[in-house]
Amino acid sequence: MKWLERLRTYRILKKHGLPDHLWHKTTQKLALLNYLDANQMAKLRILSTLFIYRKIFFGAHDFEITLEMKIIIAAQACLEIMELGIDSFEGWAEVVVYPSAFKVERETRDANGLVSTENNVLSGEAWGKGPVILSWEDVERDSFTLRGGHNVVIHEFAHKLDMLNGRANGMPPLHPEMKTSEWTASLSYAYERLIDQLKHNSNEVNAYASTNPAEFFAVMSEYYFTAPQILIKHYPKVYRELKAYYLIEITTNKK
Ligand SMILES: [Zn+2]
């Protein structure tokens, strides 16, 4: 069926291609893409076109979503799946964009069964089979200058990859040549170390990563794409595992 899939892709690209000028103008501004070569940019354009074609973008509170905004989100999300393929973003359809950080109210149940309401202000969120939700203000802040360890698009779409094999638990479906035991050992060692460091305020990475293993994977992914040198220095085994998973080597040196 490969040929049929290729034909379908070709038709989408032909009929729903992104305008040249807008693609170049927009992606040139995206700090994450600075180091990509021409072949990688061409591949990213195909993936971004398919992404924009397949996903429904929805602006919350009547927030207007332009094609440029879609490209800004799609191009960064698709960098993450450059070697994993567009199907790794299957199984859900919507990208919801709020103008800025949004409030969520959740009921939580403690160990004794006591239910309480928790209010949080979020810059992004990813639901299992549901949408990816983003705050545009945060997307903009992270897109045009590289902020080491921070990129809300990378973060939320990493959760989507994690959830490909069930609940977010810090381990996406690994490639056949990867070892689950090595992934688990490398990431849990680093996770425990971070929790330990936080007791002395000596953490080397964003404390939010210590929330749970799913957040740890999402934050480590942010470092992998925005500040790989920090992972190489402090968490070389995490870096090695993420490289084996994402299959794209990041260098923040310009091309
Ligand atoms: Zn998260």
SS (H, E, C) 19-83: CHHHHHHHHHCCHHHCCCCHHHHHHHHHHHHHHHHHCEEEEHHHCCCCHHHHHHHHHHHHHHCCC
The 10s digit of each residue's pLDDT in 17-47 is: 999 999 999 999 999 999 899 999 999 999 9
Residue 254 carries which DSSP code?
Answer: -
Tell me how far the alpha carbon of residue 155 lies from the centroid of ligand 1, in angstroms.
6
Tell me how far the alpha carbon of residue 185 lies from the centroid of ligand 1, in angstroms.
21
Tell me how far the alpha carbon of residue 198 lies from the centroid of ligand 1, in angstroms.
19
Tell me how far the alpha carbon of residue 241 lies from the centroid of ligand 1, in angstroms.
19
Tell me how far the alpha carbon of residue 158 lies from the centroid of ligand 1, in angstroms.
8
Token code pair at residue 127: 């639901």
What's residue 255's pLDDT? 44
Tell me how far the alpha carbon of residue 124 lies from the centroid of ligand 1, in angstroms.
7
Give the pTM: 0.94
What crossing angle do the helices spanning 213-226 and 67-80 adopt, rounded to 10°?
A: 100
Contact 35, 254 (CB under 8 A): yes
Tell me how far the alpha carbon of residue 224 lies from the centroid of ligand 1, in angstroms.
15
The 10s digit of each residue's pLDDT in 143-166 is: 999 999 999 999 999 999 999 999
Tell me how far the alpha carbon of residue 218 lies from the centroid of ligand 1, in angstroms.
6
The 10s digit of each residue's pLDDT in 165-207 is: 999 999 999 999 999 999 999 999 999 999 999 999 999 999 9
The 10s digit of each residue's pLDDT in 42-62 is: 999 999 999 999 999 999 999
Helix, strand, or coil here: 131?
A: coil
220 Cβ partners below 8 Å, 6+ apart?
187, 190, 205, 209, 231, 235, 238, 242
> Using CA atoms, how far apart are residues 78 and 99, in angstroms rounded to an integer?
22
Tell me how far the alpha carbon of residue 209 lies from the centroid of ligand 1, in angstroms.
9
Distance of CA 176 to the CA centre of its chain: 22
Tell me how far the alpha carbon of residue 36 lies from the centroid of ligand 1, in angstroms.
26
Tell me how far the alpha carbon of residue 131 lies from the centroid of ligand 1, in angstroms.
13
Percent of the chain residues topping a pLDDT of 90? 85
Contact 81, 161 (CB under 8 A): yes
Tell me how far the alpha carbon of residue 54 lies from the centroid of ligand 1, in angstroms.
23
Contact 28, 77 (CB under 8 A): no
pLDDT band at 254 (very low <50, low <70, confident <90, very high): very low
Across the chain, mean pLDDT equals 94
Tell me how far the alpha carbon of residue 112 lies from the centroid of ligand 1, in angstroms.
26
> Using CA atoms, how far apart are residues 204 and 202, in angstroms rounded to an integer?
6
> Using CA atoms, how far apart are residues 68 and 18, in angstroms rounded to an integer?
10
Helix, strand, or coil here: 115?
A: strand
> Using CA atoms, how far apart are residues 8 and 37, in angstroms rounded to an integer?
26
Tell me how far the alpha carbon of residue 213 lies from the centroid of ligand 1, in angstroms.
10
